[in-house]
């Protein structure tokens, strides 16, 4: 439980391209961070993009939310520029994140001589070319613009994992300016007793099958194509195995979604894969509990909320041995080479045989997350 704590009306302005109700790991972090800071007595304002069916201004759990209408996320840097400078004058700290909110946040901080903090979830330099699905030209532009962000001298960099911190050091961000603050995670919400896996098994008629479950957006970095290519190999070893696959953000990643559905047809694995609609958070827990094995085939992860969701429900995992995943994973698991269908299939077969690594519980509490943010803020201003 997060304890309430009074402060001297310290004002923190968050400049974020996306914020709640937009879904995603970054949005989940900042929704909780801003609400908990407000609860502890900080004056918190979020300047963000205006999504459909959201208000221009509102107060959400003590957080002032100001939204700017823009056609897409790329224009946010320009359309938020003057508004950011106008608002920033009255704040003690400016906090932002990559990518499109970073430039206006830093400029406003320099204009008013305010300290500016940037949270880095994952460094994508040179990953744009292989993992984004963008054209060569578009990937080059994104890669260049991200490099420009890291050339800007922010006052403090927050990395959400040691893996991300290491990537920042590799691109010559000064180590003394980097603080590792893990994202918070609510283990209580994902306690196994809160979910009903049998209901899901009955829903799909898989009461006696070996279910391996994976989910996420269909972007290249999530590695679902390698999991699909592993299906024929798994079926040969485990004839009653079924992959239940949930792909979200289908409209945003329409091309990739169509590619994955076509791949299912091409591999002739329609009878071995159940492709399901996006799930609510609660129903996601039911599906995790229904599984005999959870698969996280990502090629890169800044933190890995999906890993922790499966770990909390006490399910064996097969996960890629890459970036932050080895840092956060615990319980029963097999780490495999990323992007390798044979390795994924072998890992799933190991879980089927009860052959996996085991490690003790890891806690990533919001209490610790908030405490470390407060310590960092105190270094930048006198509270």
**Helices vs strands, H then E, count in the chain:** 15, 15
Q: How confident is the model at residue 25 (pLDDT cuts 50, 70, 90)?
A: confident
Q: Do 264 and 318 belong to one domain? A: yes
- Look over the chain and give the mean of its residue pLDDT values, rounded to a whole number: 95
Domain count, the chain: 2
Q: Do 146 and 201 belong to one domain? A: no
| 184, two tokens | 């918070």
Residue 5 covered by a domain = no
> What distance, in Å, lies between the first and last C-alpha atoms of the chain?
24
Mean pLDDT of 117-139: 94
User: What pLDDT does residue 3 have?
Assistant: 43
Mean pLDDT of 283-308: 97
User: What pLDDT does residue 7 have?
Assistant: 53
Q: Do 274 and 321 belong to one domain? A: yes
Q: Which residues contact 248 (CB under 8 A, 6 or more apart)?
A: 23, 215, 216, 217, 218, 278
Lowest mean pLDDT among 5-9, 17-21, 66-70, 343-347: 5-9
User: What pLDDT does residue 71 have?
Assistant: 87
Mean pLDDT of 49-65: 95
pTM of the model: 0.92
Residue 333 covered by a domain = yes
Render pLDDT for 89-100 as a digit per residue (tens, 0 to 9): 999 999 999 999
User: What pLDDT does residue 1 have?
Assistant: 47
Beta strands in 81-231 (DSSP E): 93-97, 116-120, 156-159, 178-180, 210-216
In which domain, by residue range, is 295 found?
A: 192-359
Q: Do 345 and 374 belong to one domain? A: no
User: What pLDDT does residue 8 have?
Assistant: 57
Q: Name which residue leads in pLDDT, 123 or 9.
A: 123
Q: Do 158 and 114 belong to one domain? A: yes
Length of the chain: 383
Render pLDDT for 266-285 as a digit per residue (tens, 0 to 9): 999 999 999 999 998 889 99
Residue 6 covered by a domain = no
Q: Do 371 and 347 belong to one domain? A: no
Q: Do 30 and 146 belong to one domain? A: yes
Render pLDDT for 178-191 as a digit per residue (tens, 0 to 9): 999 999 999 999 99
What percent of the chain has a predicted confidence (pLDDT) above 70? 97
Render pLDDT for 213-251 as a digit per residue (tens, 0 to 9): 999 999 999 999 999 999 999 999 999 999 999 998 888
Q: Do 157 and 283 belong to one domain? A: no
Q: What CATH number is given to the structural domain containing 68? A: 3.40.50.2000
Q: Do 125 and 264 belong to one domain? A: no
Whether residue 4 has pLDDT greater than 60: no
Q: Do 180 and 199 belong to one domain? A: no
Q: Which residues contact 132 (CB under 8 A, 6 or more apart)?
A: 124, 138, 139, 142, 219, 220, 221
Task: Identify whether the C-beta of residue 64 lies closer than 8 Å to the C-beta of residue 45.
Answer: yes
């Amino acid at each position: 439980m997060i304890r309430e704590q009074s402060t001297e009306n310290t004002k923190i302005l968050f400049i974020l391209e996306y914020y709640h109700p937009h879904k995603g790991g970054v949005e989940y972090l900042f929704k909780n961070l801003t609400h908990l800071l407000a609860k502890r007595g900080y004056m918190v304002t979020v300047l963000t993009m205006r999504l459909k069916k959201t208000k221009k201004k509102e107060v959400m759990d003590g957080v002032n939310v100001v939204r700017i209408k823009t056609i897409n996320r790329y224009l946010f840097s320009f359309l938020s520029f003057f508004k950011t400078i106008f608002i920033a004058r009255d704040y003690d700290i400016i906090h932002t994140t990559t990518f499109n909110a970073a430039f206006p946040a830093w400029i406003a901080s320099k204009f008013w001589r305010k300290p500016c903090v940037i949270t880095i979830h994952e460094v994508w330099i040179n990953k744009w070319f292989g993992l984004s699905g963008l054209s060569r030209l578009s990937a080059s532009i994104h890669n260049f613009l991200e490099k420009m962000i890291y050339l800007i001298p922010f006052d403090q960099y927050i990395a959400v994992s040691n893996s991300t911190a290491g990537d920042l050091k590799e691109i010559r961000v000064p180590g003394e300016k980097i603080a590792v603050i893990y994202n918070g995670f609510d283990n209580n919400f994902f306690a196994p007793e809160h979910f009903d896996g049998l209901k899901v098994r009955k829903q799909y008629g898989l009461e006696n099958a070996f279910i391996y479950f994976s989910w996420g957006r269909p972007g290249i970095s999530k590695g679902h194509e390698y999991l699909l290519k592993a299906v024929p190999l798994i079926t040969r070893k485990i004839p009653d195995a079924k992959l239940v696959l949930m792909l979200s953000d289908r409209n945003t990643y329409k091309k990739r979604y169509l590619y994955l559905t076509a791949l299912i047809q091409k591999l002739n694995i329609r009878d071995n894969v159940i492709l399901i609609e996006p799930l609510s958070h609660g129903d996601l827990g039911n599906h995790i509990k229904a599984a005999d094995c959870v698969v996280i085939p990502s090629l890169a992860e800044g933190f890995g909320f999906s890993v922790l969701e499966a770990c909390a429900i006490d399910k064996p995992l097969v996960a890629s041995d890459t970036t932050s995943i080895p840092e956060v994973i615990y319980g029963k698991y097999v780490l495999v080479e990323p992007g390798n269908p044979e390795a994924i299939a072998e890992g799933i077969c190991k879980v089927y045989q009860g052959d996996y690594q085991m490690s003790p519980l890891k806690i990533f509490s919001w209490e610790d997350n908030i405490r470390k943010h407060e310590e960092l803020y105190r270094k930048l201003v006198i509270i």
